[in-house]
Amino acid sequence: MTIRFPAVSGPQISASLNTTDDVSQLMPGGLLDDPDATVLAIRSDFPVLPRPRDLIELMLANASWLTLEVKRVPDYYDPILPHIQFTIGTPNA
């Protein structure tokens, strides 16, 4: 998938969704109204690392952008890992 951070003005970054979250997005019931997904991306692809409450955009299948909020960044303070994992969800929820 493609994300953009910082939202609107940032570069497009290749990332992946956690497999179980990816499957739950496909379930019926309008989960795009209240999504909760874990994103995994290469740390050095970000101009600055995302922090909780930052806005991030996710490209949908129809090439439109969905603005979401970073909820948790457990890998923020780990300088050894080449990747960063964080959870995204509905803004201001």
Residue-by-residue pLDDT tens, the chain, 93 positions: 899 999 888 999 999 987 555 445 544 455 556 677 889 999 999 999 999 999 999 898 888 898 999 999 988 888 888 999 999 988 876
Give the SS3 label for residue 4: strand
* CA distance linking residue 47 with residue 32, whole number of Å: 27
Closest CA to 21 of 81, 89, 74: 89
* CA distance linking residue 84 with residue 91, whole number of Å: 20
For the chain, domain boundaries: 2-89
**Cβ atoms within 10 A of the Cβ of 57, count?**
20
Question: What amino acid occupies position 18?
Answer: N
Contact 14, 45 (CB under 8 A): yes
